[in-house]
Amino acid sequence: MLEIIIIGAMGWILGRTLPGQRSGFIMEMTPLRKPELKSTLRKTWMKSREFLYIAFPLLLAGSAALGVADALGLLSVFQDFVEPISVGLLGLPAFAATALVFGILRKEMALQILAVLAGTANFAAVMTPLQMYQFAVITTIYVPCVATIAVLKHELGTKDTTLIVTFTIVLAVVVGVLIRIFGPLFL
């Protein structure tokens, strides 16, 4: 529910601040036709090819970098670096912030990375229910995966992509802090 409220609020704010004409509500629908198999396959291949050539190499390189960092013991150094934000600001264990950062490689893997770094899939043993909820909300809001970032850069350019990434990180941290402050009132 919280995410839906945030999405609605951000749409309202951006709708009033972004320049450009608003498009009217379209009342008429064109007649629907059965798509041709050839054109459907061609369009599917064009979108898939773009993903394979842009996003897949980034996913592969990112996963390899995570494996190398883990093998060299660099993850503990990174956890020490992010601890002031994770523990001090958000109230999450340091390994949770590491999972959030490396979850950018593949967002759907953030929970699996959290389990590996926590040393257990029983999150109740290492996190409170509020922290688990906070982690889930932050994961939902923050930066999309590296593949999406690459496609955004390709479609929108570096400047707009940087703005989107920065904004979503800031929004996720702010919402995470608000959950830490006001969450105990509701749980």
pLDDT tens by residue, 136-172: 999 989 887 887 888 888 888 899 899 989 999 999 9
Residue 105 lies in a domain: yes
Using the predicted structure, report yes or no on whether residue 19 has a pLDDT greater than 80.
no
Using the predicted structure, report yes or no on whether residue 20 has a pLDDT greater than 70.
no
Residue 33: phi, psi to the nearest 5? Answer: -125, 155
Maximum CA extent, the chain: 60
Q: Could you read off the pLDDT of 107-142 as tens digits, one per residue?
A: 877 888 888 888 888 888 999 999 999 999 999 898
Cβ atoms within 10 Å, residue 58: 15
Total tally of structural domains belonging to the chain: 1
Q: What is the pLDDT, as a whole number, of residue 25? A: 62
Residue 155 lies in a domain: yes
Q: What is the pLDDT, as a whole number, of residue 154? A: 84
**Closest to 85 in 3D by CA, of 157, 187, 2, 176:** 176
**Intra-chain end-to-end CA distance of the chain, in Å:** 15
At 77, the pLDDT band (50, 70, 90 cuts) reads confident
Place of tokens 């883990």: 70
% of the chain beyond a pLDDT of 90: 21
Residue 23 lies in a domain: no
Place of tokens 């390899």: 64
Domain residues for the domain of 95 are: 56-186
Residue 87 lies in a domain: yes
Residue 108 lies in a domain: yes
Both tokens of residue 147?
Answer: 């593949």
The answer to whether 141 touches 171, Cβ cutoff 8 Å, is: yes
Residue 38 lies in a domain: no
Q: What average pLDDT does range 2-23 have in this prediction?
A: 75
Using the predicted structure, report yes or no on whether residue 66 has a pLDDT greater than 80.
no
Length of the chain measured in residues: 187
Distance between CA 118 and CA 98 in Å, rounded? Answer: 10
| Whether this model's pTM surpasses 0.75 | no
Q: What is the pLDDT, as a whole number, of residue 17? A: 73
Distance between CA 30 and CA 26 in Å, rounded? Answer: 10
Using the predicted structure, report yes or no on whether residue 176 has a pLDDT greater than 90.
yes
